[in-house]
Amino acid sequence: ADYQGHNVQNHLAASVQAEAIERWMFVDATANITQQPASAYGEQSASGVVDNANRIEVGTVRVSPYVRGLLGSAVNYEFRLDGAATNGRRSIAADSSSTGGSVSLSSAVSGALIGWDINASTQTLDFRAGRKTQSDRAQARLSWYPDADLTLNLRGGQESTDVVDVVKTRYDNWGAGL
């Protein structure tokens, strides 16, 4: 293919954050167009302006509506959906779609000595040139605030994914922080 005549490069970085229903429902949206090498092993363009068979234009659109608020007087909540699509010009290597969602609950009492949060999420990623994968995660964290400048926390959870292997594998996650 002759790429000498294709010197138009599109670039875009757009972000919108909208409050659909006052202090309750929100929508985050982003759109990007970048120039990327199709392969790390192919010809590279040092300046990014030289067109070659290895350079592709990649566009991504993501939309994430969510609701958040307070349950009673002690629990913050957030429920979020997420959808994205990526498309590469002159190559299907970057083409993918992603859907998912998450739920977060956390303590809302300010100034308390102990706090907590629970998070769960799921994501399905479908590559046009590959296979569909799914990852699910759940985590809980307990925090102690003995001083304004010190936080101690313990966290634990599980993740199950088929990204590495075709069979879904479950992993335990745990940690501590200071």
**pLDDT band for position 166 (50/70/90)?**
confident
pLDDT at 93: 75
Q: Lowest-pLDDT range, 4-18, 21-35, 64-78, 101-115?
A: 4-18
pLDDT at 1: 42
**pLDDT band for position 2 (50/70/90)?**
very low
pLDDT at 138: 98
Average pLDDT score over residue span 112-124? 96
**pLDDT band for position 77 (50/70/90)?**
very high
Nearest to 151, CA basis, from 113, 106, 109, 119: 113
pLDDT at 92: 81
Query: What are the beta bridge partners of residue 4?
Result: none
pLDDT at 94: 77
Neighbours of 72 (CB within 10 A): 6
Q: What is the mean pLDDT of the chain?
A: 89
- 60: which 2 tokens? 């991504």
**pLDDT band for position 65 (50/70/90)?**
very high
Q: Which residue has the higher pLDDT, 5 or 66?
A: 66
pLDDT at 169 over 60: yes
Query: What are the beta bridge partners of residue 118?
Result: 105, 140
pLDDT at 113 over 90: yes
Q: Yes or no: say if 38 and 29 are a contact pair by the CB < 8 Å rule.
A: no
